[in-house]
């Protein structure tokens, strides 16, 4: 047995047994033979009960490997994490997931839990954490994609694994993140094609005739660009109809599509005020008149007085959409519809970003970079009009009045 200045000990042992089938361990006489047995480290550490417990890890090829593992284990203890050299990916991911439970929103945690328990641990769980390599992760990505798995699903699984390994690197548990760089690019979202204003009017008109309560909900979403969870989480004290403003303080979500929870809005800037138009104010007033008159009650409620379940709202939306014979869109596309209508009304991107409460202006610009046909046509026609103006002034002289030059209307200078 070999001791050093640090706590713990390193020794050689084997699995041989005596006549009574008891392991000989470090007392086996054959340990003097070269190649017999393996090296083990043992160290005593305190426990919550106050008693010390002994941690043993074996299977090392030589004393240097065992001493290195003991050193890493003790360094990990000083930094506040378990650097067990035999820790599996499954054990690490389970521990990481438990540590994230109170740091994430319940819905985000539930999604991470699904990725870890149903996707990552069945594939990588038996590997030792230090053995997990980029080749393993790359092979998994290729197998999943070749099997027809959706690129978004594969990417989110890999991103979750990368986040977990990134924590291991930041806490000095691992020297590098084997999931970085990811073996695939983030899939570009499908280009959204929202309804036209005419289709939105047709949908709202149908809803008012068939289901007035849901008509008011969708009127609010279209008229303000609220996210579905923000609209469902809206409470009466947050609505100031006299001031024509409402305050976004919560979002309603379903954990595992079952338990309803109120959480903070998506981003820090999402927690903000939203102005109300006359149409939206009227819809909110009808909804509050219809709902149970409790001080902190939700504006949009079901017949039982409870908040509307997001899944039920989604199902009802598609039922009404199909009844109105309108193209397939999601409820979130109604938020994009609000932005599109504002763009068509020549509202600046900065104002739209403020209204939608995006975290940055670049977020708005990236989402709506495609604009709409009319707005995009107006942009190129404005360029053409400017060129025509300069050419006409060049031919007519620099002092010619602008109205004599004949500047075309950028929106209608060409037929669609």
Helix ranges (DSSP H) in 357-399: 361-367, 373-396
pLDDT at 139: 95
What residues does each domain of the chain span? Answer: 2-79, 89-170, 197-367, 373-405
Burial class (CB in 10 A: 0-12, 13-18, 19+), 261: middle
323 contacts: CB under 8 Å, gap ≥ 6: 206, 210
Task: Determine how β-strand 52-60 pairs with β-strand 239-240.
Answer: unpaired
Q: Does domain 89-170 have CATH number 3.30.200.20?
A: no
- Distance of alpha carbon 229 from alpha carbon 69, whole angstroms: 49
- Distance of alpha carbon 77 from alpha carbon 99, whole angstroms: 17
Q: What is the mean pLDDT of the chain?
A: 84
Flag whether the pTM goes above 0.75. no
- Distance of alpha carbon 61 from alpha carbon 66, whole angstroms: 8
Using DSSP, state whether 245 is helix, strand or coil. Answer: strand
pLDDT at 399: 61
pLDDT digits (tens, 9 = 90+) for 157-175: 999 999 999 999 988 888 8
Question: In this structure, what token pair is assigned to residue 218?
Answer: 């969708």
SS3 content of the chain, % helix, strand, coil (to 5): 50, 15, 35
9: enclosing H helix or E strand: strand 9-17
What architecture is domain 197-367? Answer: Orthogonal Bundle (1.10)
Sign of CA dihedral 141, 142, 144, 150: positive
CB atoms within 10 A of CB 92: 25
371 contacts: CB under 8 Å, gap ≥ 6: 343, 379
Question: In this structure, what token pair is assigned to residue 5?
Answer: 């200045």
Q: Is the pLDDT of residue 64 over 90?
A: no
CB atoms within 10 A of CB 275: 12
Question: In this structure, what token pair is assigned to residue 407?
Answer: 């500047």
pLDDT digits (tens, 9 = 90+) for 9-63: 888 888 888 888 888 888 888 887 888 888 887 888 777 677 777 878 887 888 8
pLDDT digits (tens, 9 = 90+) for 116-167: 999 999 999 999 898 899 999 999 999 999 999 999 999 999 999 999 999 9
Sign of CA dihedral 365, 358, 99, 261: negative
């Amino acid at each position: 047995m070999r001791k050093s200045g640090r706590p713990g000990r390193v020794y050689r042992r084997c699995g041989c047994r005596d006549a009574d089938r008891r392991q000989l361990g470090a007392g086996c006489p054959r340990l003097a033979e070269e190649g017999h047995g393996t090296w083990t480290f043992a160290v005593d550490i305190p426990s919550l009960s106050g008693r010390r417990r002994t941690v043993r890890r074996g299977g090392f090829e030589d004393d240097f490997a065992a001493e290195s593992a003991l050193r890493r284990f003790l360094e990990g203890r000083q930094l506040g994490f378990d650097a067990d050299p035999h820790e599996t990916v499954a054990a690490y991911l389970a521990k990481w997931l438990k540590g994230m439970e109170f740091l994430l929103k319940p819905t985000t945690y539930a999604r991470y839990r699904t990725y870890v328990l149903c996707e990552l641990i069945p594939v990588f769980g038996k590997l030792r954490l230090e053995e997990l390599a980029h080749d393993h992760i790359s092979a998994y990505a290729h197998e999943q994609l070749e099997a027809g798995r959706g690129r978004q699903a594969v990417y989110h699984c890999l991103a979750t694994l990368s986040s977990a390994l990134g924590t291991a690197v930041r806490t000095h548990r691992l020297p590098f993140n084997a999931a970085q760089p990811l073996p695939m690019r983030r899939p570009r979202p499908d280009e959204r094609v929202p309804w036209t204003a005419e289709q939105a009017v047709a949908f709202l008109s149908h809803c008012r005739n068939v289901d007035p309560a849901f008509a008011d909900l969708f009127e609010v979403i279209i008229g303000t660009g609220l996210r579905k969870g923000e609209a469902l989480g809206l409470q009466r004290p947050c609505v100031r109809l006299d001031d024509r403003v409402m305050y976004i303080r919560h979002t309603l979500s379903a954990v595992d599509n079952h338990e309803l929870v109120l959480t903070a809005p998506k981003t820090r800037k999402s927690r903000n005020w939203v102005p109300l138009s006359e149409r939206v104010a009227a819809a909110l007033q009808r909804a509050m008149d219809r709902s149970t008159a409790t001080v902190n009650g939700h504006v949009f409620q079901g017949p039982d007085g409870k908040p509307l379940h997001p899944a039920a709202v989604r199902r009802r939306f598609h039922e009404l959409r199909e009844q109105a014979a309108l193209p397939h869109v999601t409820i979130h596309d109604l938020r994009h519809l609000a932005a599109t209508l504002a763009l068509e009304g020549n509202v600046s991107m900065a104002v739209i970003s403020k209204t939608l409460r995006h975290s940055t202006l670049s977020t708005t610009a990236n989402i709506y970079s495609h604009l709409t046909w009319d707005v995009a046509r107006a942009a190129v026609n404005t360029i053409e009009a400017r060129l025509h103006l300069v050419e006409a002034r060049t031919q007519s002289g620099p002092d010619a009045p602008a109205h004599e030059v004949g500047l075309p209307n950028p929106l209608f200078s060409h037929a669609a």
